[in-house]
Amino acid sequence: MKALTFHGKQIIKYESVPDPKIEHPKDVIVKVLLAAICGSDLHIYHERETGLDYGTVMGHEFVGEIVEIGSEAKSFQIGDIVSCPFTTNCGECFFCRIGLTARCTKGQLFGWVEDGRGLHGGQAEYVRIPLADLTLLRLPKVVSLEEGLLLGDIFSTGYFCAEMADIHPNGTYAIVGCGPVGLLAIFGARDFGAEKIYAIDSVPERLTLAEKFGAVPLNYQNENPIEIIHKFTDGRGADAVLEVVGNKNAGRLAFDLVRPGGIISTVGVHTEKEMAFSPVEAYNKNITYKIGRCPARFYMEKLLPIVQSKKYDLAAIISHRLPLAEGVRGYEIFDKKLENCIKVVLEP
């Protein structure tokens, strides 16, 4: 089959790789119908995260059709359309039972093979899904492939970020970063009743969409979000800041924006060695800092009714739809934010 594979810093290849096979009786094979490129793929692409074997099939965001079923996988039939969280889940361990599926003791991340061990990803024609019964979610017909794709990671992640921020209707909230995840976090914040949401980035078309989604856009290159948000809150700062970038500048901005006693909710993947603020700075502001990988499988089920309700136009963030064969260009467009790119989806 054809797939997008990793071969070092900024080197993605579209090449032939062996078809995935059932390796364990609980596996299924999914024919990928749509895949996406995520901000997390860019950490690998730029080798901010290292360890991935060369030749690993990239990607952890995909939806598809079941084409082969292991003898102990009982929940699905050939032809079912399924969405997949970005990690596998056993559904039985302590963490799966408390809804922290991101920390499943048998969890594996799609698109991460290190020292020959791990899982290939979904930017390919086919992908092997271990522990399929409790990992995959069958999509009802009313849910589009695009919605199913966004449910598997970034809508779930944006919503999770909003939930950690303990949002109340009268509060003032700031979202740092209006990439695909930050934009969908606006919908999450609105769903918890937030009325005053500032959305911060420097990319005009992302800010335009943030405004359309219901936030007040702030371009940190032209205006000072710290001054503006403090002015609006009688000098206090935001009740919570949702940090959806994953670099030190954004981490620092989140700290400077949050009010004493407030919450910083971070889903950005931080690859630096140090925090953006010191323990004593955190102490002096009495902040709560929440961070981590989204328990996507748990949120997919929880958010399915919201997706089915069509309350939010999730797919509005998809700016590019390319054949998988043009995925190498897709990475470049997404990384460099060319052609007003917000989110790239790939069709095998």
Q: Which residues bind ligand NAD (CB under 6 A)?
A: 38-40, 42-43, 153-154, 157, 176-182, 200-203, 206, 220, 244-247, 249-250, 253, 267-269, 293-294
DSSP string, 210-258: HHHTT-EEEETTTS-HHHHHHHHTTT--EEEEEE-S-SHHHHHHHHHHE
In the region spanning residues 49 to 78, those forming contacts with Zn ion, defined by CB under 5 A, are 61
Burial of residue 126 (number of CB atoms within 10 Å: 0-12, 13-18, 19+): buried
Angstrom distance (rounded) from CA 59 to CA 184: 19
Residue nearest to Zn ion as judged by C-beta position: 38
Q: Which two tokens stand for residue 151?
A: 């449910």
Q: Which of 4, 38, 42, 300 binds Zn ion (CB under 5 A)?
A: 38
Angstrom distance (rounded) from CA 201 to CA 211: 12
Angstrom distance (rounded) from CA 169 to CA 255: 22
Q: Which of 29, 96, 150, 244 binds Zn ion (CB under 5 A)?
A: 96
Phi-psi region of 27 (alpha: psi -120 to 50; beta: other; left: phi over 0): beta
Angstrom distance (rounded) from CA 200 to CA 254: 10
Q: How far is the CB of 336 from ligand NAD (least distance, A)?
A: 11
Nearer to ligand NAD, 134 or 178 (CB): 178
Asked if 125 is part of the footprint of Zn ion (rule: CB under 5 A), the reply reads no
Q: Are 101 and 85 in contact (CB under 8 A)?
A: yes
Asked if 153 is part of the footprint of Zn ion (rule: CB under 5 A), the reply reads yes
Q: Which does 35 bind (CB under 5 to 8 A by kind): Zn ion, ligand NAD, none?
A: none
Nearer to ligand NAD, 20 or 152 (CB): 152
Q: Which does 96 bind (CB under 5 to 8 A by kind): ligand NAD, Zn ion, none?
A: Zn ion
Asked if 83 is part of the footprint of Zn ion (rule: CB under 5 A), the reply reads no
**Residue span binding Zn ion (CB under 5 A) among the ranges 19-27, 85-93, 308-316, 326-334:** 85-93
Q: Which does 293 bind (CB under 5 to 8 A by kind): ligand NAD, Zn ion, none?
A: ligand NAD
